[in-house]
Structure 1
Amino acid sequence: MSTDKTDEVVKESSNDKVELKKEINLLNGIGIIVGSIIGSGIFVSPTEVFIKSGSPGSALIIWFLCGIFSLIGAYCYMELGTMITRSGGDYAYVLDAFGPFIAFLRLWVDVIVARPVSQAIIALVFAEYTLEALYIGCVSPIMAKRLLAAGCIGILTFINCYSVRWSTLVQDILSYAKVFALLIIIMTGIVKLAQGDTGNWENAFADSSTNPGDYAMAFYAGLFAYNGWNYLNCLIEEMKNPRRDLPLSILISMILIIFIYVLTNMAYFTILLPSEILNTKAVAVTVAIRLYGVMWWIMPIFVAMSTFGGVNGNLLATSRIFFVAAQENQMPMILETINVKYYTPVPSVLFVSLVSLVYLCFSDINILINYMGFVNWLAIGVAVFTVIWFRYKDPSKPRPIRVHLAFPIIYCVATVILLILSFVGGPYESLMGIVIILTAAPVYWIFVLWKKPKSFQDKLDNITVVLQKLFYVVPSQKKVE
């Protein structure tokens, strides 16, 4: 876009640069990670982990190992986040390490399916458990779920467009609510254990699966519940003291989450029979119905609050990935602009939300999540591998946190093993995930490499100017004159 056209957008005088403001402190960082990780996973994934692992003992080990695996990955991201202090997370690291094409493959996964579909799924879970108290004993209408999920996305879109401080405050409050809900379940489990309800633990490993593919799929289900530990890295430019607060936020959050998740699952298996866990959509709600009497409805409300925060965390992180990608000319230029009044990336936030709303119209979008399980952890594994690559490529680069190379090596080897086993447990889903990645190649050639004719480019520039005026935005770092 020409400078003259861009300068037409904003003409008010100001001495400030239009850029993302540094408003995220340590407490906000912890809230973003905890609020992003604790979404729908810990309430619905225990059933899938138990089905695949076959026994309470094996399931509990899976939950612990998933936590340790995620902690190792998060530890590696501490080095990357303090070394490359640019928002965008995985995308930014892969871009610096392997160049624009590989980075675009990573971006394409996020754009086409992973992030917006995940957001749509979490919003639908929010709607389902919000309606649980209204449709007692009945199946809530699908249209009501879609409309409520759309309302959830709409409200959070407004908040994220209006203020980063508001969005982090929402995340903080909901994080407290989520932890409180899980502590209720944990304390209930402790009371039941003290009363002698240890039946499920007497033969804890009976009926454990002997199929490695089953354990790979159980691991995926557990990792889904831990997903979100890398979201704060996407917002690092908005942190007040990233080199101090990013590592502390990650460490405190991950230790807290592992502790809570393991104890929560112990409580599930203490309170419920295996058959009850196998036949429920949300284990926490089943616990509430069985033990909390007329107050059972409080748990669906907590699940709804948890998923509401999950949507908020996803929206915060994803909008920043697209924002950085637009700065690299791999997304439309309008997505790298910032609102002059609120200093938020309004177009990027709206883009993520609109794509998510489109997915709400599909009858079954859960299958897309199955396709992306393989691809998502492949992409994160590649990002962790950049720790090793940067040590070779740029060993003298300042690293405020320098992890021992054993950790990224362990993570990458474990990722390779997990990916291989996933072909045993879900070959079709894994192959479809790879196909989705490969579709990025022609898109990259047409929309990134191809030099458009001047007349066509001028039309795109005119559209961008119209959108800039509509949303009152200018490119990041541009002075408002």
Structure 2
Amino acid sequence: MAKVADVDGLAPKAIENEVESSDGVEKGSGGGVRLKKELSLMNGVAIIVGVIVGSGIFVSPSLALKHAGSKGMALIVWVLSGFLSMIGALCYAELGTMIPKSGGDYAYIGEAFGSLPAFLYLWVALFILVPTGNAITALTFAENILKPLWPVCNPPVVAVNLIAASITCFLTIINCYNVKWVTRVQDSFTAAKVLALLVTFFASLVYLFSGHTENLQYMMEKTTTDPGEIAIAFYTGLFSYSGWNYLNFVTEELKDPYKNLPRAICISMPVVTLVYTLTNVAYFAVLSSDEILSSSAVAVTFSEKILKMMSWIMPLFVALCTFGSLNGAIYTSSRLFFVGARNGHLPLAISLIDIKRLTPVPSLIFMCLVTLLLLLSNDIEALMVYVTAVEALFTLCSVTGLLWMRYTRPRLQRPIRVSLVLPAIFLITCTFIVICSCFKYPKHVGIGVAFIALGVPIYMIFIKWQNKPNWILTACNSFNLACSKLFLCLPEDCKEL
């Protein structure tokens, strides 16, 4: 793989000479700035739980029920989605300890299959996976925080987009300023959101014990038998569990990753599955199928029926969940693009580190800008299909890479070694879901695949092509140097290059 300086035409030494160093900068082995290892085991658990428990549990229940056909089948989808995510997370625990690099799927696909597949994942993550997920979370936050002001109708679209953009920018600023602030926000809001969902469950128990059991009768009635519909139901469930691999994006900032990465996964995934299952049971116990299907915000409809005068508290709970989820997603995803730029697959400017705060400021700001563009879309269901279909393809690629490296690199150190049964189950199930969804929503899946294919010529022109004209190199050099001066940033360990 070409060095960053070769790809972008910018010698990191030039940046170093332009920007004065600062006291308190953590030094790498070559004297350059580096991201610090500040994440503990509990921080890791908070990141996984905090990223997963976001907009999905409040948006997906009605969509899962719509495609599953019955409450019973929808509940099965939620449990099996959690089980499948747990299997995938265990496979990623082996990958993360075998390849202890930040970047998650990007690093694993690159190690297993080379530069081009890794770039294609980065390309799709940059413009579809990460910003779309962040946009959905920000829009859900905005809709719920505004709901008390418009109790009988939907909030104005302009107001929702403005609030969503504001919270995205606010959390980006926090992430730019201090990693410890990010982890404190994440820990606090993760605890708050789990508490909020447990309150939802216990409120439903009170409702049931008062004699209202009619909504739990005939749970399997109207269950669909269409494989395509079931696949889309799983998409909505898996979307709600998405984020279980986000801690792998920041492996290099995790203390003792060989121990803490698998421990964080094994603690967080059962917790999320249990909380999600209990929350869906609460929804199904209190609301009828028609009430759930006609609601764009199931949690709000639930609170209006069971909490009465205190119904305003549920939108607040939803806002807490989505706030913490967005914070964790911004933190982890920015490291993905930081690593990609460090490896020469994105402009060098995105891999620069703030010399005072030791945060990847340009990567965070770039991610914020892409997310703001996607806030203009309001078709959440279509966005879910786009995101989950494309993400499933690359998750399949990563788990296939695990099996491939078992065969081609058997002597590679593996602190965690999962049974081959787990990746086999994961591959078979995800393949079935992707194939079935192709028949049900060929347009959505086709657009996602076409966007992946578009990355191939981009890679050939901007990455593979070594003898670029001088004007391209000069433009890249000027852009990177301007970003370095503007944000007072340096490349990681720049003295080594």
TM (norm. structure 1) is: 0.97
CA distance in 1 between partners of 2:74 and 2:290 (Å): 15
CA offset digits 1:336-364 (Å, max 9, x no partner): 11111001011111110011112224565
C-alpha separation between the residues in 2 aligned to 1:311 and 1:47? 22
Q: Is the 8 A contact 1:213 1:425 kept in 2?
A: yes
Matches of 2:37 and 2:102, distance apart in 1: 12
Corresponding residue of 2:60? 45
Contact 1:359/1:365 (CA < 8 Å) preserved in 2? Answer: no
What amino acid is aligned across from residue 479 of structure 2 in structure 1?
Answer: I
Q: Hey, what does 2:3 align to over in structure 1? A: none
State the match for 2:19 in structure 1. Answer: 10
Which of 173, 191, 200 is the matching residue for 1:176?
Answer: 191
Within the candidate set 455, 473, 476, 1:440 is matched to 455
Match of 1:82 among 72, 97, 101: 97
Name the stretch that deviates more: 367-376 or 166-175. Answer: 367-376
2:302 and 2:383 map into 1 onto residues whose CA distance is 29
Q: Which moved more, 1:344-353 or 1:238-247?
A: 238-247
Query: What CA deviation, in whole Å up to 9, does each residue of 1:301-350 have, x standing for no partner?
Result: 11112111221122112111111111111100011111110010111111
**2:477 equivalent to 1:468:** no
For residues 336-394 of structure 1, the C-alpha deviation after alignment (integer angstroms, 9 at most, x for no partner) is 11111001011111110011112224565763443232111111111111110110111
Q: Secondary structure at the match of 2:148?
A: coil
Which of the residues 19, 25, 37 maps onto 1:22?
Answer: 37
SS at match of 1:338: strand
Counterpart residue identity of residue 18, structure 2: V
CA gap of 1:3–1:359, structure 2 versus 1, over 3 A, is: closer
- Residue 137 of structure 1: aligned partner: 152
CA distance in 2, matches of 1:204, 1:310: 31
Q: Which residue of 1 aligns with 2:48?
A: 33
Matches within 5 A, 1:204-223: 204-223=219-238
Match of 2:309 in 1: 294
- The farther-off stretch of 308-317 and 87-96 is 308-317
Residues 394-405 of structure 1 aligned to structure 2 (within 5 Å)? 394-405=409-420
Judge conservation of contact 2:51–2:329 (CA < 8 Å) in 1: yes
Take 1:330 and 1:439, find their aligned partners in 2: how far apart are those partners?
15
- Percent of aligned pairs with the same amino acid: 44
Between the aligned partners of 2:282 and 2:154, the Cα distance in structure 1 is 28
Gapped runs of 5+ residues in structure 2? 1-9, 28-32
Shift in CA distance, 365/191, structure 1 to aligned 2, threshold 3 Å: closer
| Deviation for aligned residue 1:208 | 0.7
Q: Give the deviation of 1:13 after TM superposition.
A: 6.1
**1:229-248 to 2 correspondences below 5 Å:** 229-248=244-263
CA RMSD of aligned residues (A): 1.6
Q: Please state whether the residue corresponding to 1:133 is helix, strand or coil.
A: helix
How far apart in 2 are the matches of 1:117 and 1:318? 12
Aligned residue among 407, 427, 440 for 1:425: 440
CA distance in 2 between counterparts of 1:456 and 1:278 reads: 53
Q: Is the 8 A contact 2:193 2:320 kept in 1?
A: yes
Q: Which moved more, 1:272-281 or 1:31-40?
A: 272-281
What's 1:251 paired with?
266
- 2:35 partner SS: coil
Deviation of 1:190 after TM superposition, in Å, equals: 2.1
User: CA-to-partner distance for each residue in 1:14-49, whole Å, 9 max, x for gaps?
Assistant: 574111101100111111001100011111111011
User: Match for 1:416: what amino acid?
Assistant: T
1:68/1:364 CA distance change after superposition, 3 Å: closer
Q: Is the 8 A contact 1:35 1:313 kept in 2?
A: yes
Distance change (3 Å), C-alpha of 1:362 and 1:184:
closer
Distance 1:365 1:271 in 2: 25
Residue number in structure 2 paired with 1:333 = 348
Displacement after TM superposition at 1:199 (Å): 2.2
CA contact (8 A) 2:12 2:494 kept: no
Instruction: Indicate the SS of the match to 2:18.
Output: coil
Relative distance call for 1:432 and 1:344 in structure 2 (3 A) is: same
The aligned counterpart of 1:62 is 77
**Distance in 1 between the 2:137 and 2:477 partners?**
35
Taking the aligned partners of 1:31 and 1:442, their CA distance within structure 2 comes to 39
Change (3 A) 1:287 1:3: closer
Structure 2 distance, partners of 1:27, 1:183, is 20
Q: How do residues 384-423 of structure 1 correspond to structure 2 at under 5 angstroms?
A: 384-423=399-438
Give the Cα separation in 2 of the matches to 1:467 and 1:197: 61
TM, length-normalised to structure 2: 0.93
Q: 1:95-118, CA deviations, whole angstroms, 9 ceiling, x for partnerless residues?
A: 111001011111111112221122
One-letter code aligned to 1:346: V
For each residue in 1:128-158, what CA deviation from the matched residue of structure 2 results, as whole angstroms up to 9, or x when unmatched? 1111011221332211111111110111010
Amino acid at match of 1:334: A
CA distance in 1: counterparts of 2:464 and 2:335, whole angstroms: 23
1:356 & 1:380 partners in 2: Cα distance? 22
SS in 2 for 1:132: helix
CA–CA separation in structure 1 for the residues paired with 2:59 and 2:204: 18
Q: Residue type matched to 1:459 in 2? A: A
Asked if residue 115 in structure 1 is aligned to residue 130 in structure 2, the reply is yes
1:269–1:83 CA distance, 2 compared to 1 (3 A): same
2:205–2:282 Cα contact (<8 Å) kept: yes
Deviations 1:38-72 (A, max 9, x none): 01111111101111111111111111100000000
Distance (Å, rounded) in 1 between the aligned partners of 2:83 and 2:254: 26
Distance 1:407 1:186 in 2: 31
Q: Is the 8 A contact 2:235 2:384 kept in 1?
A: no
| Equivalence for 2:140 | 125
| Letter matched to residue 464 of structure 1 | N
- After TM superposition, give the deviation of residue 425 of structure 1 in Å: 2.2
